[in-house]
Amino acid sequence: MKAILRQALILTSGVLIGSGITLGAQAIREHSRQQAQSKSESPKAITIPLSLRGDPRLGNANAPITIVEFSDFQCPYCKRFHDAVLPTLKKEYIDTGLVRFVHKDLPLPYHKYAREAAVAARCSASQDQYWKVYTALFDNQDCFGCKGINAIANNAGISSNLLKTCNKVGSASKAINVNLSESQLQDIRATPSFVIGRSQGDNHTGLLVEGVRPWPQFKALIETTLRRRPLS
């Protein structure tokens, strides 16, 4: 398997993108991390606090557990989490006040529409429609090119004028850049990735979980965190 990956890296090497990793290498790395998540490796601890200020969230601000999601609207694994895990997580833990769920953007450079989608979602927050647009984007992920990001947001109830104004101001793009800088600082590269732990105000630390875990595994991580005594 290692030999195959090495050959693929050689074959796909080409133009460097942003962070200095080739498009082919980025794709292979994402795939490798997603494959690794099915193994029983221990999640690493995030000890440098993440800042939650300004990021979209669901649930009780005083929930004992916070789950921070680093996600990409064009990532198929992120859609899998949205479709197969998030509904149960919301019903059993977010809606019951046990978990606060926070979204951070990690649009990967080789996903053509990922950043545009993240901007549209962020802009919708000014009308308190973030999670409606978040859902609409994942539901229409297979047709970003045929429908267009703005059309998907419009159909979810966001006006074209709002999107134009928000794009002109640039605040959504700046917030995404902050998330990207954080992900680089923490060496969070895979999407989706989750930091599950306890928060103090807008500061968050916890265990980094990469990739989509089946619901029973994801639930077990939450239950383990709930049982862990909080730091005094």
Note whether residue 149 is domain-resident: yes
How many domains in the chain? Answer: 1
Q: pLDDT value at position 5?
A: 38
Total residues belonging to the chain: 232
- Alpha-carbon span 220 to 224, nearest angstrom: 6
Asked if residue 133 lies in contact with residue 158, where contact means CB atoms within 8 angstroms, the answer is yes
Q: Are 55 and 104 in contact (CB under 8 A)?
A: yes
Give per-10-residue mean pLDDT for the chain (232 aa): 41 35 43 46 86 96 96 98 98 98 97 96 92 97 94 91 88 96 95 96 95 95 87 48
Considering the domain boundaries, does residue 84 fall inside one? yes
Give the span between the Cα atoms of 30 and 34, in whole angstroms: 6
**pLDDT at 160 (0 to 100):** 87
What's CA 67's distance to the chain center, in Å? 11
**In the chain, alpha helices (H):** 2-12, 23-36, 76-84, 86-89, 114-124, 130-139, 144-147, 149-155, 160-169, 171-185, 215-227
In a domain, residue 158? The reply is yes
Give the pLDDT confidence score for residue 23 in this predicted structure.
40
Q: What's the confidence (pLDDT) of residue 4?
A: 43
Give a yes or no: residue 15 inside a domain: no
**Domain enclosing residue 167, as ranges:** 2-8+21-227
Count CB-CB contacts under 10 A for residue 141: 19
Q: Is residue 14 one of the residues assigned to a domain?
A: no
Q: Where are the beta strands (DSSP E) in 31-64?
A: 44-51, 57-58
Closest to 32 (Cα-Cα) out of 62, 66, 2: 2
∠ CA(137), CA(186), CA(73), 5° rounding? 5
Q: Could you tell me the pTM of the whole model?
A: 0.82
Asked if residue 16 belongs to a domain, the reply is: no
Q: How many CB atoms lie within 10 A of CB 163?
A: 19
Would residue 232 count as lying in a domain?
A: no
CATH label of the domain that carries residue 63: 3.40.30.10
